[in-house]
Structures are given as C-alpha cells and as structure tokens.
Structure 1
Amino acid sequence: MTVTQRRGRKIMMSPGELDAFLTLQRTCRVATVSTDGAPHVSALWFLWDGTALWLYSVVRSKRWADLKRDPRVAIVIDTGEEYDALRGVELSGVVEFVGESPRTGELCAELDAVETRFARKNFGLDAMPHDGRHAWVRLKPSKIVSWDFRKLGGS
C-alpha cells in the first residue's frame, strides 16, 4: 500500500485508522474511463483485505466493459453528514481480474478468504452465492489519499 499524501497531513488517517475505516465500510464509488474518455462513476460493495480492495462486479455492466478496455480506476469510500464528521479515502491505480469471468465458484485459492469474508460482510452467509453474473476485480492501489475532518477539532 502506497500512501502518497502531501497536503492535508493534519487530517490524514494513520495506517491503523485507514485499515479500520476500509474494513468497516461497505459501499464505494468506482470511477472508470468510458470509451469517449468521460468518467463513469458507479456504486459497488467492496472488501478490503489490508493491502487490496476487492470488487465483485456484474460482468455485463458498463463498469466491467470500461475496466476490461482500460483498467485504470479511482475509488472513493466516504462517510459523514456534517462537515466536521467527514471521513474518506480515495484509492487509485490499475485493477487486475481474478478468477473466472463470470464467477461460477471454480476452485481459486486466491479467492477463498476474499469470498468468505465478502459473503459474511455483505450477505450474512458463510459461503459466496455465485450467480454466474459477477466476477472479481482487485485493486492494489498505487495511490491512497485519506481525510478525517474530525481531527480538526471543530466540534
């Protein structure tokens, strides 16, 4: 994990805070590059494993088509309603496709722990329900920027 943050160090999350935040949050916004060069942003559940962000995406989606053509991505996870409660992380880099596409549950050691954790976190299940419509994308971020406005001490 590369944290390359120059500005806003006062509100930057520590590595422990960053890991805890990404582990607890559920929904991210994924920005991909469309065929015309315009950004396309969509919401998606994710899993953080401590070094990589895992996305389980529908393979017949604009997001998937964009990533297959151009694997560059920017992802934002944030929370908070009031200004002094805003927290978030932006991760960017190039995604990798892991496992078969679409995912049908074939043995893939790299996905064992990811699928178990994802199923528990998002579905309350002990095993991943494969529907033949989704597949896995992994982002090992090349850049991470974080903010936690609670550190400003305004409240």
Structure 2
Amino acid sequence: MSRRAQITMTPEEVEAFVAAGRVANLATVGRGGRPHLVPLWYVPRGPGLETWTYASSQKAVNLRRLPQATVLIEAGETYDQLRGVSLECDVELVTDRERVARIGSALARRYNPNEQIATAATQFVRLQAAKRIGLVCTPTRIVSWDHRKLGGTY
C-alpha cells in the first residue's frame, strides 16, 4: 500500500475533522488569476461548510466571477502529527436575507457556545445580514491526510 493511501482519511474521518475544525482557509481566484486566501469561521455541513462574508469583500467579488474555491482545514504542530482536509468546492452565493441570517445565527451559536451570548447576538446578526452574503461550499473533490496513521514512521 502506498504512503498516500495509508494517510488518507475515510469519509467519516473527513466529516469529523471538518466538524472539529475552528478556522478554514478559503482560496478564491482573483481578477489577475492569483489566489486570494483568507481565514474564516464556518459551520460544518457534512463534508462541506457554510459561512458568510461582507457582500463587498474581495472573496465575494471573486466568487461572483467564478463560484469555485478551495478550502483548507489543517492541524498538527509536527510533521508526524499533520492532518488536513482540502475541499475543492462549488460555492453557492446566498443573497436571501433570511437564509443569510440563519447562517449568521449558526456561526454565532458555534463560536459562542454560551446560549445567552448566542441569543443576544441575534439582533446583531439580523442587522449584519443586510450587508452580507452566505457562502455554501459543496465539495467536488476532497483530499485528506493524517500523518498520525503512519505511527511515527516515514
């Protein structure tokens, strides 16, 4: 068996890893063809994810031009601990204010586990939804690695 095959995560491991992650790096293609890479918070949806951004942001501009992105979620401090999932995604741009607000509320709940704080954020989320768009990232290709599966050998 190849080393690549040994470190590939199962679909269940990918979904669990994406769900456990806190920050994703989203790469879009800029006007000049160069990658535009930004970190963002997200809500896991199966192997994919949802997030929001300001409608005028560079990533939104890029995604209107080409609704595709690559998302990277990674972990590990040393080579033998490296884990990651790279998702090549089609991206749906959500402009419906109610749906954008639902994504914003889900983000508020995920990153503010205190229910009172998350509930209090509802008004802020509703106001923000007018200025934002939702991004629903659906993977078309998934590449994963978990070097821990090698047991310290290379």
1:141 aligns with 2:139: yes
CA deviation digits over 1:100-131, x for unaligned, max 9? 3xx4xx3x4x974x555422112331465231
Q: Is this contact kept in 1: 2:28–2:62, CA < 8 A?
A: yes
Corresponding residue for 1:13? 9
SS in 1 for 2:28: strand
The one-letter code sitting in structure 1 at the alignment partner of 2:109 is R
- Paired letter, 2:86: E
> For 2:19 and 2:51, how far apart are their aligned partners in 1?
13
Which residue, out of 107, 110, 118, partners 1:118? 107
Partner of 2:42: helix, strand, or coil? Answer: strand
Contact 1:32 1:73 in 2 (8 A): yes
Deviations 1:28-76 (A, max 9, x none): 1111111111111111111111143112112221111101111121110
Total equivalences in the alignment: 143
Q: Distance in 2 between matches of 1:53 and 1:60?
A: 21
Greater CA drift, 74-83 or 91-100: 91-100
Question: Unpaired segments of 5 or more residues in structure 1?
Answer: 1-5
- In 2, the alpha carbon distance for the partners of 1:14 and 1:32 equals 26
Name the Cα RMSD after superposition.
Answer: 2.3
* Pairs within 5 Å for 1:5-154: 8-100=4-96, 103=97, 106=98, 108=99, 112=102, 114-124=103-113, 125-126=118-119, 128=122, 129-130=125-126, 131=128, 132-154=130-152
| Counterparts of 2:17 and 2:47, CA distance in 1 | 13
| TM-score normalised by length of structure 1 | 0.81
- Matched residue of 1:35: which SS? coil
Whichever of the two has the greater Rg, that structure is 2
Letter of the structure 2 residue corresponding to residue 54 of structure 1: E
Does the aligned pair in 2 maintain the 1:96–1:138 contact within 8 Å? yes
SS at match of 2:89: strand
The whole-number CA distance in structure 2 between the counterparts of 1:35 and 1:145 is 26
C-alpha distance in 1 between matches for 2:28 and 2:43: 18
CA distance in 1, matches of 2:3, 2:33: 28
Aligned mates of 1:76, 1:22 — CA distance in 2: 10
Q: When the two structures are superposed, what TM-score results if normalisation uses the length of structure 2?
A: 0.82
